[in-house]
Structure 1
Amino acid sequence: MSGVDPATAQDAERTLSSRRRDAARHLLHPRQWSDSMLLSLQPSLRNATLAGLQAAITAALALPMVHLSPWSHLIGFASLGALVALFGRFAPSRKRIRILLLCGLCQVLAVLVMSAAAWLGAPTGVQLVMLALACALFLFVSVTGQFGAPGPLIFVFAAGASTSDGLAFQQVVERTAATAAVAALAWIVCAASEALRHLPSPERPFPVEPERPLSHRLMAAARSAAGAGIAIFASHALGASHPAWAAMGALAVMQGAHLHITMSRALQRMAGTLVGAMLAWALLTQAPSVWLVISVLVGLQLLTEMVIGINYAFGQVFVTPMALLMTYLGAARTVGPEMAPERVLDTILGAMVGIAMAVLLSTIDDRRHLAERSRAAPAPGPLRG
C-alpha cells in the first residue's frame, strides 16, 4: 500500500486551513486579542506631534474667528477644514505640500457634493448610498495618492456631516466656503512650519505605502463600499441619527492590509471608542460653552496624534470625543450627551460588519497568510502596517 505524497498532503492541509471558517477561528483566538493590545514605536514622534500641533493651531486660529463672525453657524464645517493638516506627515517635503493640497480638495469635495445632493432634494436613501460610494472613492484616492494617515476616514466624516434633509443653495455655498477657507489656512500653517519636520533619509526611512496594483485598489474600494453600505443601512434601520459613524467603523477596519490587522483594528476601535465616548458624555452633560469646546478640541487634536501610532485604541480614546464635540458644534449645540452611546453602538456595528465582510470577501492568499502567521507565531508579535 503506497504512502501519501508529503507534498500533496501539505497542499491539502494548506487548503483546509485557509477556509473562511478557519480564518474566523484564527481571528477569534485569544492570541489575536493579546495582539491588539501590543504597543509600537512611533516612526517619528516629532512628525506625529507636529501634525497634531499644526491641526491644533489651525483650529485655534480659525474657530474663534468663525464663532465671532456673522457665520458662527458654520463653525462645525470650519473645524472639518482644520483636519487637512494631519496628512502626509512622513512624506518628503515637496510631496507633502502636494498631498495637503489634494486632501484639502477632497475635504471640500466631500462637503460640496453631499450638501448639493441635499439641496437638490435627494432622499435619505440616495444620500446613504452616496455615503457608501464615498467610502470607496476616498479609499481609492487615498491609497493611490499615498496620503497616509488618517486616510479616507476624514473625508467620509466630512461627507457624513454634510448629509441633510434639505438645504438652500446659499447654505451649500457657505458650507463649502467655510471648509475651503480653513483647509487653505491649514495648508499655510503646514507650509510655514515645514522646516520643523523630520524628513526621511537612508539612515532614517519612514513608512511608505506600497504601490498596489490597480486591480487591488479597485477591489479594496468595492469591498469597502459593500461593507460600509451594509453598516450604513443597518444603522439607519435601527434608528441611529448618524449612520456615517457606522460607515467609518466598517471602513477603518477594512483598511487593514491583512486579516489579523483588520481584527486588531476592530478590537482597538471598539475599546478606544467606548472609553472616549464616556469622556465625551461626561463633558457634554455639563452643557459646555463654545469656548470650552474649542479649547478641548485643540488639546485633543494634539494628544491624538501623539499616541495613535503607539496603539490605535489610544488614538480612539481622543478621536471619539473630538468627533462628538465637532458634531456638537456643527449642530449648534442642539445635540448632547445622547450622542455618546450612539457613537459606541454605531462603532461596534460598523466594526463587526467590517470584519465579517473582510473574511467573507477575502482571497485565499489572505486566508493562507493568516493561517501561516498563526502557525509560525504561537506568541503574538508587534503589529506592523
Structure 2
Amino acid sequence: MTDKNTPARKSRRHRGASHGTSARHLVSPAQWRESMAIGAPPSPRIFAIAGFQAALAVLLAIVATHFSPWPQLVGFASLGALAALFGRFATVERRMRIVVICALLLALGVLVPSLASWAGAPPWMMAFALALVAGAATVAVSWWGLGGPGAVIIVFAAGAAYHPVGSGAEVLARVLATLAGGVVAVLTCLVTDRWRAPELKALRLPPAHVAPWSHQWIAAGRITACAALAAWIAFMAGWQHPAWAAIGAVSVLQGGHLHITMNRALQRMAGTIVGSFIVWAMLAQQPSFWMVVAAIVVFQFLTEVVIGYNYALGQITVTPMALLMTYLASPAVAASMPVERVLDTILGAALGIVFAVIFSSVDDRVYLHEHHSKDR
C-alpha cells in the first residue's frame, strides 16, 4: 500500500494546488452550487433563543436611550447590545464571561476611530485605524474563544464611529453609550439564559478547530491589510461609508478554508443585494422612529433564526437591520445607503477573495483541491 505522504503522492497533490487551479475551483459551477445549498444548524432552538436575546437587548437599549437625556446616542447603545449575539453554544457560566468581553470589545471598537477622528486624523489614517480594529478583533476572538459571529461585529461597531467627532465629551459619550448597551446585553442574557440549558445538555458539537498562533497572527495581518485597502478604495471612490467595505472583507476572510471564504463572498453579495432592496423599499415610505425600531428588532431575530441554514439568508435580514441602525444615527444619508451598501459589499468581498487566494498556503490550496475532487 502506498503511503499518502510519499514524495510521489505529495507531488500529485501539490500539482492541483497552484494559485491558478485554486482560482478556477473557486469560480466553478460546483462552488456556486455549494454556496446556494441549504444546511441544517446544530440546534434551531438555540439559534432562536440567541436571536430573541439579541433582539430583546437591542430593543431595551434603544428604548432606554431614546427616553434618556441623550437620545442622539441610540445607535451606539444598540451596537453595545449586540454583545448578546456571542457565546450561544457556551455553557451558561461561560456565556456571561463571553458577553462581558464582547461588550468591552465593542466599546473599544467605538473608541479607537472616535479618538482618531477627534485627533484630526486624515482619511487614510482613519482607514488604518479601522483596519487595526479588524486585526486586533480577529486576534481577540481567537484568544478568548469568543466564536461567532466573530470580529465582523466589532468592525461594524467601529464603522459606526467612523464619522467626525467634535470633542472629547462626544468620544466619551459614544463609548459610555456602547458600554450601557453592553450592560443591557449582559443583564438580558443573565435573566434569559436558563432557556438554553436543557438544549445544551443534549447537544453534542464537534471540538472547535484551533489554528496555531502563528497562523492566527498571519490571518490577522491579512485581514488588517485587506480591510485597510477596502476602506481606502471606498473612500477614494467618494463613498460615504468606507467602513462597510472593510466589514465585507473581514466577514469573507473569517472563513477557515478557501471554499468557505468563497461561499461567504457569494452569499454575502447575493444576500446584501436582496436586503438592500428591502430597506430601500422601507425607507421610501418614510417610516416613523418606532416603525424603524420594530423592524430592527424583527430583522435581528430573523437573522439568527435563518443564518444557520445559509449565510445568504442571514444577509438578507441582517442588511436591513444594519442599515436601519445606521439610519437611526444619521437619517440624512438614508437615500444613498442601500446602493452604497451593495457597492461596498462587492468591493470588500472581492478583495477578500483575492487576498485569500494570493496569501493562501500550500495546505490551504491542497485542501481546496481535495474538497472539489470529492464532487467529481
Scaled by the length of structure 2, what TM-score is found? 0.95
Q: Determine the structure 1 residue equivalent to 2:334.
A: 336
Shift of the 47–200 alpha-carbon distance from structure 1 to 2, 3 Å rule, reads closer
Q: Determine the structure 2 residue equivalent to 1:151.
A: 150
Number of residue pairs the alignment of both structures matches? 371
C-alpha deviations, 1:213-232, integer Å up to 9, x for none?
Answer: 11111011011111112211
Q: Distance in 2 between matches of 1:21 and 1:284?
A: 43
Root-mean-square deviation (CA), in Å? 1.5
Q: Determine the structure 1 residue equivalent to 2:184.
A: 185
Indicate the larger mover: 272-281 or 212-221: 212-221
Letter in 1 for 2:153: I
1:217-366 alignment runs, 5 A limit: 217-331=216-330, 333-366=331-364
> Is 2:375 the partner of 1:377?
yes
Question: Structure 1 residue 317: deviation in Å?
Answer: 0.3
Indicate the larger mover: 134-143 or 12-21: 12-21
Shift of the 184–347 alpha-carbon distance from structure 1 to 2, 3 Å rule, reads same
Shift of the 38–211 alpha-carbon distance from structure 1 to 2, 3 Å rule, reads same
Q: Determine the structure 2 residue equivalent to 1:128.
A: 127
Question: Structure 1 residue 122: deviation in Å?
Answer: 1.8
Q: Determine the structure 1 residue equivalent to 2:113.
A: 114
User: What SS is found at the alignment partner of 1:166?
Assistant: coil
Q: Distance in 1 between matches of 2:280 and 2:348?
A: 21
User: What SS is found at the alignment partner of 1:359?
Assistant: helix
Q: Distance in 1 between matches of 2:10 and 2:153?
A: 43
Q: Distance in 1 between matches of 2:183 and 2:156?
A: 19
Q: Distance in 2 between matches of 1:212 and 1:260?
A: 17
Contact 2:114 2:164 (8 Å CA) reproduced? no
User: What SS is found at the alignment partner of 2:290?
Assistant: helix
Contact 2:91 2:200 (8 Å CA) reproduced? no
Q: Determine the structure 2 residue equivalent to 1:30.
A: 29
C-alpha deviations, 1:261-312, integer Å up to 9, x for none?
Answer: 1111110000000000000100111221111110111111110000001100
Q: Distance in 2 between matches of 1:201 and 1:343?
A: 37
Q: Distance in 1 between matches of 2:14 and 2:308?
A: 35
C-alpha deviations, 1:161-213, integer Å up to 9, x for none?
Answer: 11233321111111111111111011001011111014676852135432221
Q: Distance in 2 between matches of 1:293 and 1:111?
A: 23
Q: Distance in 1 between matches of 2:121 and 2:309?
A: 42
Letter in 1 for 2:99: L
Q: Determine the structure 2 residue equivalent to 1:79.
A: 78
Q: Distance in 2 between matches of 1:16 and 1:192?
A: 55
Q: Determine the structure 2 residue equivalent to 1:88.
A: 87
Q: Distance in 2 between matches of 1:125 and 1:184?
A: 33
Q: Distance in 1 between matches of 2:272 and 2:351?
A: 16
User: What SS is found at the alignment partner of 2:249?
Assistant: helix
Q: Distance in 1 between matches of 2:201 and 2:45?
A: 18
Q: Distance in 2 between matches of 1:143 and 1:122?
A: 29
Letter in 1 for 2:313: F
Contact 1:47 1:198 (8 Å CA) reproduced? no
Q: Distance in 1 between matches of 2:320 and 2:53?
A: 19
Letter in 2 for 1:51: A
Q: State the percentage of identical aligned residues.
A: 46
Q: Determine the structure 1 residue equivalent to 2:38.
A: 39
Q: Distance in 2 between matches of 1:79 and 1:91?
A: 23
Contact 2:162 2:243 (8 Å CA) reproduced? no
- Structure 2, unmatched stretches of 5+, are 1-5
Question: Structure 1 residue 59: deviation in Å?
Answer: 2.0
Scaled by the length of structure 1, what TM-score is found? 0.93
Contact 2:89 2:200 (8 Å CA) reproduced? no
Question: Structure 1 residue 15: deviation in Å?
Answer: 2.5
Q: Distance in 2 between matches of 1:85 and 1:165?
A: 28
Q: Distance in 1 between matches of 2:234 and 2:241?
A: 8
Q: Distance in 1 between matches of 2:183 and 2:233?
A: 36
C-alpha deviations, 1:250-269, integer Å up to 9, x for none?
Answer: 11111111111111111000
> Is 2:99 the partner of 1:100?
yes
Higher helix content, 1 or 2: 2
Q: Distance in 1 between matches of 2:141 and 2:198?
A: 21
Letter in 2 for 1:86: L
Q: Distance in 2 between matches of 1:298 and 1:164?
A: 24
Q: Distance in 1 between matches of 2:146 and 2:198?
A: 16
Q: Distance in 1 between matches of 2:100 and 2:58?
A: 17
Shift of the 306–208 alpha-carbon distance from structure 1 to 2, 3 Å rule, reads farther
Contact 1:115 1:163 (8 Å CA) reproduced? yes
Q: Determine the structure 2 residue equivalent to 1:211.
A: 210
Q: Distance in 1 between matches of 2:217 and 2:342?
A: 30
